[in-house]
Amino acid sequence: MSILDGAPTAAGPRPYGGIGQSVRDSLVVARRNLIRMARIPEVVIFGLIQPIMFVVLFSYVFGGSIAVGGNTDPSAYREFLMAGIFAQTVTFATAGAGAGIADDMHKGLIDRFRSLPMARGAVLTGRTLADLVQTALTLVVLAIVAVIVGWRTHAGIPKAVAGFALLLLLGYAFSWIGALIGLSVRTPEAATSGGLIWLFPLTFISNAFVPSDNMPMVLRNIAEWNPFSATVQAARQLFGNFPDGYPVPAAWPMQHPVWASLIWSVVIILVFRSLSVRKYRSATA
C-alpha cells in the first residue's frame, strides 16, 4: 500500500442542484454587479439627477396650472404627481439594465460566464437583482426629495411600504424587458435607445402626470389598461394621495389597482424572463 492510498481526500464544495444552484449562482452574479456599481458611483448619481429634475419641474413649473379633481392647489398636485414620478423612475431603469447586459455581451463577459458550471438563467437573474437594489436606493433618495418639496403619505406606514414594494416589483418586471432588449442588440448604445423609445409613450399615455379622464377616448382606454397606470393608481391609493374630488375611472384596473398591478407585474416577469433566458441560450450558443 502506498502513502497515497491512506491520504485523506480533499473535500470539494458541496454540489448544488436545481433551484439551489440557480439561487446561489444568481446571488454571486448580483454581488459582482453591485461591486461594479459601487466602483462607478457616477452612474448612480446621474441616474438620480433626472427624476429629481422631474420632481422640481412638475411641482413648481406645472403644479399651479394643472387641476386634479377640480383642485388647483399646487400641494394637491404634488401629492398626485409623486406616485407617477416614482413609477417613472423605476421603469426608466430598464434602459440601464439593457445597456449593462449589452455591454457584457459586447465585451465577451457573458461567454466567460457561460463557460463556468453555473445555472444558465443566473447571469440574467443576478443582473436584474443588482439593478433592483440600485433602483431601491434611488427611490429612497427620491422619496427624501419628495418630502422636502411637500409630499406626504396619509394612509399609514404599512400601506406606504406596500406602495413602494409594488413600485419595485414593477421596476423588477420591466428590468426583464430591458434584459431581452440588451440581448437582442449589438451595442450598449442601441440598448439604451431601445430601452427608452417605448417607455416615453408608455409613461405619458397614463395617469402618471394628469388624470386620464381629460384624454381622448382612445388614449383614455389605453391609459386605464396600461400596467404602468395600474401601479401608479395602486401607489396613490396606498399612499393616500388621492385629492378631494378625484374621479376614479370605471375600468377594472383603476377600480382594483393593487390587484391589477400585481397581476401585470407577475405576468411581465414570467413572460419576459422566459424569453430572455431563451434568447440568452441562443445568443451565446
Does the residue 22 lie in any domain? no
Q: How far, rounded to the nearest angstrom, does the alpha carbon of residue 90 sit from its chain's CA centroid?
A: 4
- Whether residue 173 is contained in a domain is answered as yes
Percent of the chain with pLDDT over 70: 87
Cβ-in-10-Å burial (0-12, 13-18, 19+) of 176 comes to: buried
Please, what is the average pLDDT of the chain?
A: 82
Say whether pLDDT at 115 is over 80.
no
Pairwise CA distance, residues 166 & 171, whole Å: 9
Question: Is residue 16 one of the residues assigned to a domain?
Answer: no
Has residue 13 been placed in a domain?
no
Query: Mean per-residue pLDDT for 137-160?
Result: 89
pLDDT in tens, 35-70: 877 777 777 777 778 788 878 877 777 666 676 766
What is the band of 219 on the pLDDT scale with cuts at 50, 70, 90? very high
Report the C-alpha gap between 170 and 38 in whole angstroms. 24
Residue 14 lies in a domain: no
> Does position 227 have pLDDT exceeding 80, yes or no?
yes
How many domains would you assign to the chain? 1
* pLDDT above 80: residue 12: no
d(CA 199, CA 111): 30
The pLDDT of residue 188 is 82
pLDDT band at 71 (very low <50, low <70, confident <90, very high): low
3 within a domain of the structure (yes/no): no
Residue 169 vs residue 243, higher pLDDT: 169
% of the chain exceeding 90 in pLDDT: 29
What integer is the mean pLDDT of 265-285? Answer: 85
- Residue 251 DSSP one-character state: S
Would residue 176 count as lying in a domain? Answer: yes
pTM, to two decimals: 0.85
- Residue 49: inside a domain: yes
**Is the distance from CB of 101 to CB of 127 less than 8 angstroms?**
yes
Cβ atoms of 261 and 230 within 8 Å: the answer is yes
Q: What is the pLDDT of residue 10?
A: 41
Residue numbers of the domain that contains 100 = 35-283
Residue scoring higher pLDDT (278 or 186): 278
* Number of Cβ atoms within 10 Å of the Cβ of 256: 16
**Confidence band for 235, pLDDT divided at 50, 70 and 90:** very high
82 or 58, greater pLDDT: 82
- The mean pLDDT value for 102-115 works out to 74
CB-based contact 267:174 (threshold 8 Å): no
**Where is pLDDT greater, at 217 or 5?**
217
* pLDDT of the residue at 11: 40
Position 282, amino acid = S
